[in-house]
């Protein structure tokens, strides 16, 4: 996603951060000889000390880095629209008009960005784009929080593009790749092609639902995952006939739910569980499984490359 505001570049790579009510999460990565390397990651508790975020910024010397702020999924919307046939300088205005009935607040109160979906030969006449919308008030509040913590944010990033960055590491043979991630209460399913985000779908269930079903030996929720993935793949195949999806990736989870094996028995496509150490080098002790899950999108946001997407 394009920066909503920028400053000068500093240390090579990106430090992706998020400020929650109880902790700050972060990850820094850079590309060395074309291969991604994570140089720092972790979490710092914030409860009980109103200066904890400032201490984190001081200890990590965040002013040396190019920092991004990773939004929560509830803080923005990603809306697919048909690309308007207007000059580039008029694009955001045209997109704003297209989404005015798709947001539940006045569109003039929104900050917008655009994520292009490059057309293929088969879709040239149906060029689509993603519009990313967030309330001005929310973004201004987020910016103030980072300023008060003395974290010099230069980019605001979203989960969909962070997930795209990680999925791109698993692309093969000029074919598409799907990646599904589950947080506690929600999921995110994306499809990449040529390092671009072609499809993003939010799922309204997450690990809490899946874990409870696993303990009860109830395959119903796992079957629901299969149905959601299969429907998405079928829709994508109809929409982008020239792109074949080669594999489905399953992001790390805190514990093994048996989901990868279950998907392999139900989907007629390669299913692969993601282990970040396979594609990313670590200049520090590598993260355990729970940390890979918790900071998954921070690692992805830290792999931001300006040449890819917006």
Strands (DSSP E) contained in 124-163 are: 128-135, 153-157
- Please indicate whether residue 305 or residue 285 has the higher confidence score (pLDDT): 285
Q: Specify whether 110 is located in the same domain as 174.
A: no
Q: Specify whether 118 is located in the same domain as 202.
A: no
Domain assignment present for residue 35? The answer is: no
Cβ partners under 8 Å of residue 283, min gap 6: 37, 38, 39
Residues 165, 115 contacting (CB under 8 angstroms): no
Domain total of the chain = 2
The confidence score (pLDDT) of residue 9 equals: 53
Strand-strand pairing, 14-19 and 67-70: parallel
By the 10 Å C-beta count (0-12 exposed, 13-18 middle, 19+ buried), 266 is classed as middle
Paired tokens of 257: 């739910």
Domain assignment present for residue 243? The answer is: yes
The confidence score (pLDDT) of residue 34 equals: 73
Domain assignment present for residue 42? The answer is: no
Q: What is the CATH number of the domain that holds 81?
A: 3.30.420.380
Give the structural domain span for 240. 170-274
The confidence score (pLDDT) of residue 36 equals: 94
Check: pTM over 0.85? Answer yes or no: yes
Distance CA 120, CA 173 (A): 16
Judged against a pLDDT cut of 80, whether residue 29 lies above it is answered with yes
Q: What is the pLDDT of residues 108-122, one digit of tens each?
A: 999 999 999 998 876
Paired tokens of 207: 């690990």
Cβ partners under 8 Å of residue 224, min gap 6: 205
Domain assignment present for residue 56? The answer is: no
Q: Which residue, 260, 234, 244, is CA-closest to 180?
A: 260
Domain assignment present for residue 258? The answer is: yes
Residues 29, 39 contacting (CB under 8 angstroms): yes
Residue 48 binned pLDDT confidence (cut-offs 50, 70, 90): confident
- Residue 49 phi, psi (nearest 5): -145, 110
Q: Which residue, 126, 82, 91, 127, is CA-closest to 112?
A: 91
Q: What is the DSSP string of 103-121?
A: SSS-GGGEEEEEEE----G
Q: Specify whether 106 is located in the same domain as 189.
A: no
Distance CA 118, CA 101 (A): 25
Q: Specify whether 123 is located in the same domain as 187.
A: no
Q: What is the pLDDT of residues 254-303, one digit of tens each?
A: 998 889 999 999 999 999 999 999 999 999 999 999 999 999 999 999 99
Percent of the chain's residues with pLDDT above 90 = 81
Last residue of a domain, one of 94, 116, 138: 138
What value does the mean pLDDT take over residues 49-58?
Answer: 92
Paired tokens of 231: 């429907």
Q: Specify whether 177 is located in the same domain as 250.
A: yes
- Residue 123 phi, psi (nearest 5): -120, 15
Residue 32 binned pLDDT confidence (cut-offs 50, 70, 90): confident
Q: Specify whether 176 is located in the same domain as 268.
A: yes
Straight-line distance from the first to the last Cα atom of the chain, in angstroms, rounded to the nearest whole number: 4
Q: What is the pLDDT of residues 171-200, one digit of tens each?
A: 988 899 999 999 999 999 999 999 999 999
Strand-strand pairing, 187-193 and 196-203: antiparallel
Judged against a pLDDT cut of 90, whether residue 306 lies above it is answered with no
Domain assignment present for residue 197? The answer is: yes
Q: Which residue, 154, 169, 200, is CA-closest to 299?
A: 169
Q: Write down the mean pLDDT value for the chain.
A: 91
Q: What is the CATH number of the domain that holds 218?
A: 3.30.420.40
Last residue of a domain, one of 87, 120, 138: 138
Last residue of a domain, one of 120, 138, 156: 138
Domain assignment present for residue 205? The answer is: yes
Distance CA 204, CA 11 (A): 38
Paired tokens of 111: 């900050």
The confidence score (pLDDT) of residue 123 equals: 59
Judged against a pLDDT cut of 70, whether residue 310 lies above it is answered with no
Q: Specify whether 130 is located in the same domain as 186.
A: no
Domain assignment present for residue 153? The answer is: no
Q: Specify whether 207 is located in the same domain as 112.
A: no
Q: Specify whether 192 is located in the same domain as 253.
A: yes
Q: Which of 4-8, 103-107, 190-194, 238-242 has the lowest mean pLDDT?
A: 4-8
């Amino acid at each position: 996603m394009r920066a909503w505001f920028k400053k000068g570049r500093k240390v090579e790579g990106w430090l992706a951060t998020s400020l929650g009510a109880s902790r700050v999460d972060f990850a820094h990565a850079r590309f060395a000889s074309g291969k991604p390397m994570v140089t720092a990651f972790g979490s710092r508790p914030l409860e009980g000390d109103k200066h904890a975020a400032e201490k984190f910024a001081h200890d990590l010397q965040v002013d040396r880095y190019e920092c991004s702020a990773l939004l929560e999924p509830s803080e923005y919307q990603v809306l697919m629209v048909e690309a308007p046939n207007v000059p580039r300088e008029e694009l955001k205005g045209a997109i704003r008009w297209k989404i005015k009935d798709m947001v539940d607040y006045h569109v003039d109160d929104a900050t917008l960005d655009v994520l292009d979906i490059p057309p293929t030969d088969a879709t040239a006449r149906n060029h689509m784009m993603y519009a990313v919308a967030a309330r001005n008030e929310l973004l201004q509040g987020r910016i103030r929080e980072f300023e008060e913590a003395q974290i010099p944010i230069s980019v605001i990033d979203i989960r969909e593009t962070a997930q795209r960055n990680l999925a791109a590491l698993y692309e093969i043979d000029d074919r598409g790749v799907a990646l599904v991630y589950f947080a506690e209460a929600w999921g995110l399913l994306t499809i990449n092609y040529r390092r671009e985000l072609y499809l993003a779908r939010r799922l309204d269930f997450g690990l809490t639902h899946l874990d409870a079903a696993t303990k009860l030996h109830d395959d119903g929720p796992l079957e629901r995952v299969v149905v959601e993935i299969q429907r998405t793949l079928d829709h994508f195949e109809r929409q982008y006939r020239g792109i074949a999806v080669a594999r489905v990736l399953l992001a790390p989870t805190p514990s093994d739910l048996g989901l990868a094996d279950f998907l392999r028995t139900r989907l007629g496509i390669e299913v692969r569980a993601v282990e970040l150490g396979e594609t990313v080098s670590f200049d520090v002790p590598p993260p355990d499984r729970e940390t890979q899950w918790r900071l998954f999108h921070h690692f992805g946001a830290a792999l931001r490359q300006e040449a890819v997407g917006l």
